[in-house]
Structure 1
Amino acid sequence: MSAAQSTEKPLDPWQNHSSTGEIRKKDLLEEFVWTAGDVTVKRADRSHYSWAKTGLRLEHHIFRGHFDLQSVPQFGTLFIAGPRYAKVFLNGKLLGSNSTNPEAPINFRVFHFDVGTALRKGDNVLAVEAIRGRGVVTGAGSEALHQFGYGEVFAAKLLAGRFGNDDAPPLVVTNSTWRSIAEPKKDDWQSPAFDDSAWPRVESLGSIDGNIEFRQWSVDAGMYGWPGYTGMSSFLRAIPIAAVRVTRTYDGEGQLQHVEAITQEHAVAPFTVELTAPHPTDEQAPAMLVDFGKEIAGRLVIDSGSDQDATLSIAYGEDEMEAMATGLTPGQRGGNYLGTNLLDVPANGRARGPKSAFRYVRITFLRGAPRIPFRSIHAEAITYPVKYEGGFESSDARLNRIFATAAYTAHLCMQDDIWDAPKRDRGRWAGDLDVEAGTILGVFGDTFALEDTLRHLADDTAPGQAVNGIGGYTAQWITTLAKVYEASGDVAYVRSEHDALRKLLATMDGSLDAQTGLLRRDSKGWGFVDWAPGLYGATDDTFRGSTLEFLRAYEAAPALLRAAGDEAAAKQYEQRAQTMREAARKTFLDLVTHTVGTTWQINSMAVLTNLAPEDNDAIWSQVLAHVKQDTPQDQVISPYFNAYVLDAMSATGHQRTALDWIRTYWGGMLDEGATSFWESYDLRWPKSDPHLSLQADGTSGYFVSYAHGWASWPAPWLQQNVLGVRATSPGYASVDVHPNLLGLEYAHGSVATPHGPIAVSLDHAKAWTMDLPAGIERARVFLPGKSEPAILTHSGHYEFAQP
């Protein structure tokens, strides 16, 4: 049976949702713009202008937009987004100024101004003085994304209504008709009579929600206050998520009343905040900590029932300690990832917090009416609509929960393309994708987001450059493409990516040493294999591991090239793989131990590339048989590379040991309260504040993700090794099924295919069954104790005597 058929309440709220979810209603007209000729990413000397240095690029940019009114509306609200500092004039009247803390995690903000009586009939002029923001980390990406990263975007929108009336008609929005200049020579630029006709028109990046790049890497986390902005692609959906409990309350200079209403669908009385001090400090203001019961990707939603505007501060956390943290230290070790953020809630209106991943939210009630009732405080999950075509259920409740959590973890990362994580980095990473693809294909059978992610990764990588700036990730792009093709059989898609494939193979070829046939130690790109000592940076193991990742990609490339009709290149890379394998075997294998060093990671990759199959028993007995974490001497490994360790254990015939390691390692996260699987984990790390102890990027802290797609491999592993289903030709035209209970009493589930799910049911005391959908031309079923496989050539329900 599939996961969706289980009688247990599903972990993923999308499985239990009765509607299709809210979609993005309409595209917004306003555009992100910047001063033409002064875009950092287009400068040859852009490396001198780091996004991270707050004291760089402090020029004052002036933006002017004209609009005509036939009549003057009674109310008007202006919204400004982008700059860290803005001083705003309408028809020469100062509306106000605002600034953000450039050291804060989010310094890209939305400001709003009541235009009062500044509007007039006829020609109106909006003039804004702005300073670019600090920007955000963007990793690899498009030019538009990097421009966003440098903080060089500006947007304005003036609505003919009060704050909170998002449906009011726009009077003016930023577009390519605006004019802008940096460092004006005259000081009357704010005057409506000033002649700006000689100023150049702005450079437009397009609609603020019209480019998927604007939603990568948390660059738009500060856009939550923009009217009508949903922050999600048209293919995503939003569903409401109720809080399950309020874990902490503090009345301070006020009182929290009917707190229980937050978790009740039909509360007798609404949750209400009374403020006894008109402007309490953050320390004095009433506050509470809300728990949504599980990791979600989305944002907080506040529905006010007050006739006055209110101001709250909110802080997200993937656990309680992150949500309660207020400080920031180097590496964000002790601070919550997006910091503490102000949220303006309109009278009788709705406000949304920033997008991120969280379970807990700390809410502090700062300003508003003396008595503020709330219609609702809930979360809005942003989700990619999927169907759980694949599933797994067995006699081991721990494994069942591991499967569900792994599948949910991958689903959380299916956002505006496939991300590494919904909290950080919220970006496309080819290495993470190599693991995520197996989960997404086996559980959901979805290819759209995977194909779109691969396409963007390739398009954003210049010739000769490594994908994501990491040599091994160029190889992982190719192995992920191979997984997608194997599962989908989509020849047209492979052909559409032929040029990208050849470009990335050429980049890999250019990184090889002509003499040795191995990866050059000075090749372009940062060295990364895993977040473990000695496996990133310029180390011997990083060199060996990256070379074997190259070999794995060269092995996968010929089938892709043949699908694209490029037989000559296919033969070329078959030879290249053979040459590299021989060189790596000669250089890397220890002739005494018959292993490749001592690390679990490198030896696993040696097994998976068939470096020396005759030495797999030695690799097992001397290295992989000792995978554990209960002494200080045991090795460090991330959930990411544990995926390849599991596969290497299986390839050496030790599936039972791999299953036990899943129970121990991934089960360890469950024992520590995980509702999704983490970016990093070690069974020996401290348990009192486990999130603070998670290590990645050479440091540790709350910034490390509690939901990371590269930790989802147990789901496809269980499908492939217990249910035993594997494609043997592209698109599941043919399959091999090697069912194996591995000590379980029973196991049943399914694997997604383009033809529908293959369902397998195993029981140590009953007949075994399999349902084969139409479209699968041939299935070989290898039953334990049988010398020859059963050959199936027709769809339907099959029953086999219990082995």
Structure 2
Amino acid sequence: MKYFTFLICLFFLTNTFAQKVKTGNERVTEYVSANRVLWKAGLVKNEAQLLKTGTGQADVSNKSICILENKKEGKASILLDFGKELQGGVQIVTGIWGGNKPIKIRLRFGESASEAMSDIGGKGGATNDHAIRDLETVLPWLGIAEIGNTGFRFVRIDLVEEDIKLVLKEVRAIAKYRDLVYQGSFNSSDTLLNKIWKTGAYTVQLNMQDYLWDGIKRDRLVWVGDLNPEISTINVVFGYNEVVPKSLDFAKNTTPLPEWMNGISAYSMWWIINQRDWYYHNGNLKYLQEQQAYLTPLINQLIQKIDKDNREKLDGQRFLDWPSSEDPKAIHAGLQAMMVLALQAGGDLSTKLGDLSTAKKCTDALIRLKKYIPAHNNSKQAAALLSLAKLLDAKQANQVLSDGGAKNFSTFFGYYMLQAKANANDYQGAINIIREYWGAMLNLGATTFWEDFNMDWTKNAGRIDELVPDGKIDIHGAYGAYCYIGFRHSLCHGWAAGPTPWLTEHVLGISVVEPGCSVVRIKPNLGDLKFAEGSFPTPMGLIKVKHQKMADGTIKSIIDAPKGIKILR
């Protein structure tokens, strides 16, 4: 019986993943078979063969093959769905055909089904920016080709030449990612929240490549502001990972002062906040000391950007997030608050480093900054930051954030809007927003969270995992603005993962008080949940909690923490 159970488990594993190859420092390459043929055109035979678990090896039998053939009646094409967002390319194993010559195909990757069906520069504005996702290439006779390096879920293959027959044995996705244990966890009485937590974690995991990217299709860059929700997610899901200091160092080493990181003044401030968050979770004083030669002059540079009226006068690109980018009053308010948050973090780190002189400069600058409180201009971005910087009453800020529910939320700054709602003790309101806003992406077929999202887009929208039916709107191709118009829009963007750390911090109630997680506060806020449980990685091991709401509304908690961690309640 045990042997039979073993065989069943082995069958499941081999039919889920054809092959997993370790490549060092936890990075793997995995070969994944498609789970459905979503569409085909022209002469396509035995396409079900492409859904079988492959071996990655060509053979001379020419049995169990799929055939695409171009005749006068039309050209052959097929669209494969690999079931979830992946980062990498595709492996194609071919069979035998007459003439022994290579055959030309057109290959298209898509994060949505409609993107895989689109043309570069055509309707929806598909692009090859940052990663080539639409190309012509040739396949070998009786051989193997591995093609592509982008973010995708769908792959379309078109046979290009006239009067030609292509014999396919296998088409498998090449998934490249860090094979990490989800040390952190979240489970509650709400299955939607549980799925949202895991989706945020997976979104960030895919972006943990050589460096910590913003998106796996676009931009595939180290944007320092984007790192903040990603680092927060890594802290609560994976604990320490070398991709974080590697990326923070990359940003530092490619930005000599007085330049701003990524050309954006706020992003240099995010670098300071990221360093503080990373140090508090991991407690690596040696690494922090390595940052001091850059940190101290950056702090001094920021202080010089306060004018005589105690207002920020930051230069460089003045940017919070894209939806607020056309509101200069909101940007000014947000940057004033960012100055407060960054100098609070900088002063704290300077104290930890024993640099009391710089710490005092931060304290003096903070006194000045708090004398001037700009208007939020009814911007949810500005109101959230002003609340977190304690420049605006938390309940007043929450009135702005609550207006219209998820309307005018954004994927990046939605994290700070949720934090500001928690600041006002509106935990239920934040939970409702998470369900409404991030849940809507899942309802549209998302397996990772998107670069941007607007609740107005949901009206009459088709799902991203289907070809858009007549009368429905293509949510991927039809919408977007700024850098994410149409199919250029990234559907796997790490800055959108904010609900994952938020649910851990505020529903499980786990927050770090002292560096290295030596002191941790546990204060759950269940809202309408009946229970919530989970784990939290620390340098000393896992904290495990289980919170149960009792009949009288009180919460009974069971906490298991490693020795050496002081728990505050």
Partner residue, 1:301: 91
State the secondary structure of the residue aligned to 1:525: coil
Deviation at 1:729, TM superposition (A): 0.3
d(CA) in 1 for partners of 2:252, 2:182: 29
* Residue-by-residue CA offset, 1:355-374 (whole Å, 9 max, x unaligned): 11111111112359955432
Deviation at 1:746, TM superposition (A): 1.8
**Would the aligned equivalents of 2:47 and 2:67 in 1 still touch at CA under 8 Å?**
no
Partner residue, 1:666: 438
The answer to whether the aligner puts 1:639 opposite 2:415 as a matched pair is: no
Alignment of 1:270-419 (within 5 A): 270-275=64-69, 277=71, 284-306=74-96, 308-328=101-121, 333-334=125-126, 338=132, 340-367=134-161, 371-419=165-213
Which stretch of the first structure deviates more once superposed, 302-311 or 412-421? Answer: 302-311
**Would the aligned equivalents of 2:19 and 2:32 in 1 still touch at CA under 8 Å?**
no
d(CA) in 1 for partners of 2:449, 2:497: 7
d(CA) in 2 for partners of 1:269, 1:611: 71
Partner residue, 2:398: 620
Write the letter of the residue equivalent to 1:707: C
Deviation at 1:19, TM superposition (A): 7.8
State the secondary structure of the residue aligned to 1:648: helix
Which stretch of the first structure deviates more once superposed, 437-446 or 339-348? Answer: 339-348
Percent sequence identity over aligned pairs: 28
Partner residue, 2:529: 744
1:718 aligned to 497, 503, 507, which one? Answer: 503
**Would the aligned equivalents of 2:54 and 2:172 in 1 still touch at CA under 8 Å?**
no
1:236 aligned to 27, 30, 40, which one? Answer: 27
**Would the aligned equivalents of 2:397 and 2:420 in 1 still touch at CA under 8 Å?**
no
* Residue-by-residue CA offset, 1:499-556 (whole Å, 9 max, x unaligned): 121243233234332x123222xx4311111222xx2268122122122112110011
Deviation at 1:757, TM superposition (A): 1.6
Alignment of 1:768-779 (within 5 A): 768-776=557-565, 778-779=566-567
Q: 1:260 to 1:452 in 2, by over 3 A?
A: same
Partner residue, 1:599: 379
State the secondary structure of the residue aligned to 1:747: strand
Partner residue, 1:456: 250
State the secondary structure of the residue aligned to 2:227: helix
**Would the aligned equivalents of 2:120 and 2:126 in 1 still touch at CA under 8 Å?**
yes
**Would the aligned equivalents of 1:736 and 1:780 in 2 still touch at CA under 8 Å?**
yes
Q: 1:308 to 1:323 in 2, by over 3 A?
A: same
Write the letter of the residue equivalent to 1:303: V
Deviation at 1:645, TM superposition (A): 0.5
d(CA) in 1 for partners of 2:402, 2:528: 19
Q: 1:627 to 1:576 in 2, by over 3 A?
A: farther
* RMSD of Structure 2 on Structure 1 (CA): 2.6
The answer to whether the aligner puts 1:558 opposite 2:347 as a matched pair is: yes
Write the letter of the residue equivalent to 1:779: I
* Residue-by-residue CA offset, 1:734-755 (whole Å, 9 max, x unaligned): 1110023222122111111111
**Would the aligned equivalents of 1:325 and 1:334 in 2 still touch at CA under 8 Å?**
yes
2:366 aligned to 568, 574, 577, which one? Answer: 577
Write the letter of the residue equivalent to 2:185: G
Partner residue, 1:758: 543
**Would the aligned equivalents of 1:402 and 1:714 in 2 still touch at CA under 8 Å?**
yes
Deviation at 1:640, TM superposition (A): 0.5
State the secondary structure of the residue aligned to 1:768: strand
Deviation at 1:667, TM superposition (A): 0.7
Deviation at 1:578, TM superposition (A): 2.3
What's the TM-score once normalised by structure 1's chain length?
0.62
d(CA) in 2 for partners of 1:21, 1:504: 42
Larger gyration radius, structure 1 or structure 2: 1
Counting matched residue pairs gives 528
State the secondary structure of the residue aligned to 2:92: strand
Partner residue, 1:468: 262
Deviation at 1:341, TM superposition (A): 0.3
d(CA) in 1 for partners of 2:84, 2:68: 29
d(CA) in 2 for partners of 1:345, 1:751: 47
d(CA) in 2 for partners of 1:713, 1:747: 18
d(CA) in 2 for partners of 1:329, 1:519: 43
**Would the aligned equivalents of 1:270 and 1:374 in 2 still touch at CA under 8 Å?**
no
* Residue-by-residue CA offset, 1:114-135 (whole Å, 9 max, x unaligned): xxxxxxxxxxxxxxxxxxxxxx
d(CA) in 1 for partners of 2:83, 2:128: 18
d(CA) in 1 for partners of 2:524, 2:428: 13
d(CA) in 1 for partners of 2:476, 2:542: 37
d(CA) in 2 for partners of 1:371, 1:597: 63
d(CA) in 2 for partners of 1:577, 1:244: 56
Write the letter of the residue equivalent to 2:50: I
* Residue-by-residue CA offset, 1:221-270 (whole Å, 9 max, x unaligned): xxxxxxxxxxxxx663211111110111112xxx3221001111279953
Q: 1:442 to 1:495 in 2, by over 3 A?
A: same
d(CA) in 2 for partners of 1:655, 1:518: 32
d(CA) in 1 for partners of 2:367, 2:225: 23
Write the letter of the residue equivalent to 2:544: A
**Would the aligned equivalents of 1:270 and 1:375 in 2 still touch at CA under 8 Å?**
yes
**Would the aligned equivalents of 1:681 and 1:694 in 2 still touch at CA under 8 Å?**
no
More helix per residue: 2
Deviation at 1:484, TM superposition (A): 0.4
Q: 1:272 to 1:319 in 2, by over 3 A?
A: same
Deviation at 1:426, TM superposition (A): 0.4
The answer to whether the aligner puts 1:259 opposite 2:47 as a matched pair is: yes
Partner residue, 2:469: none
**Would the aligned equivalents of 1:326 and 1:336 in 2 still touch at CA under 8 Å?**
no
Alignment of 1:147-226 (within 5 A): none
**Would the aligned equivalents of 2:384 and 2:416 in 1 still touch at CA under 8 Å?**
yes
Write the letter of the residue equivalent to 1:318: E
Task: Give ranges in structure 1 of 5+ residues lacking alignment.
Answer: 1-8, 25-233, 590-595, 782-803
**Would the aligned equivalents of 2:202 and 2:448 in 1 still touch at CA under 8 Å?**
yes
d(CA) in 1 for partners of 2:269, 2:339: 5
Alignment of 1:68-83 (within 5 A): none
Deviation at 1:775, TM superposition (A): 3.1
d(CA) in 2 for partners of 1:354, 1:341: 9
**Would the aligned equivalents of 2:49 and 2:66 in 1 still touch at CA under 8 Å?**
no
State the secondary structure of the residue aligned to 2:413: helix
**Would the aligned equivalents of 1:316 and 1:361 in 2 still touch at CA under 8 Å?**
yes
Write the letter of the residue equivalent to 1:649: K
State the secondary structure of the residue aligned to 1:695: coil
Q: 1:563 to 1:271 in 2, by over 3 A?
A: farther
Write the letter of the residue equivalent to 2:200: A
